[in-house]
Amino acid sequence: MSKYEALRTHLASQTGDRIPMTFEEIEDVLGFKLPKSQAYPAWWSNNPTNNVMTKEWLAAGFKTEQVDIEGRKLVFRRVAPVQGDGFAEAAASKLKPPRRHPGFGLMKGLMTVAPGTDLTAPTGGAWGGSE
């Protein structure tokens, strides 16, 4: 059980799709002060490996946006309905099939290798030395 689980419970109980909150309101929900790292934008990123608190808002089906560090406020936006523990679903919803770089295969068909050529054989030249 995470010490930030109260945030998940609070967000999951909300009916709106956008929940604006101040950092003080988050601290009230949690019952303790946020760590000093909350002063950095990275703390509020939606990367599931970021920190324990991030996992809780993702598990509730929310992402952060409009993070205002100086104003100490942000908006939680609902991105997924909560099912099960919510974390797996929230994390899976952002997974996309891997894409190849647009240049992949760009030179396909422009060069051929003679049959029987061993591409792993040494070239016979010196590597990095001056001979």
Q: How far apart are CA 38 and CA 52, in angstroms?
A: 12
Assess if residue 57 is contained within a domain.
Answer: yes
Domain that residue 21 falls in: 5-93
> What is residue 1's predicted lDDT score, i.e. its pLDDT?
67
CA separation, residue 125 to residues 92, 113, 118 (Å): 50, 20, 16
Assess if residue 86 is contained within a domain.
Answer: yes
Assess if residue 122 is contained within a domain.
Answer: no
> What is residue 101's predicted lDDT score, i.e. its pLDDT?
78
Torsion angle defined by CA atoms of residues 50, 56, 57 and 62, in that order, rounded to the nearest 10 degrees: 110
Q: How far apart are CA 100 and CA 90, in angstroms?
A: 24
Assess if residue 50 is contained within a domain.
Answer: yes
DSSP 3-state of 110: coil
Count up the domains in the chain and report the number.
1
* Distance separating the N- and C-terminal Cα atoms of the chain: 65
Assess if residue 121 is contained within a domain.
Answer: no
Assess if residue 102 is contained within a domain.
Answer: no
> What is residue 69's predicted lDDT score, i.e. its pLDDT?
93
The pTM (predicted TM-score) of the whole model is 0.60
Mean pLDDT by 10 residues, the chain (131 residues): 87 90 94 91 88 90 93 92 51 60 80 86 69 54
Assess if residue 79 is contained within a domain.
Answer: yes
Assess if residue 40 is contained within a domain.
Answer: yes
> What is residue 113's predicted lDDT score, i.e. its pLDDT?
84
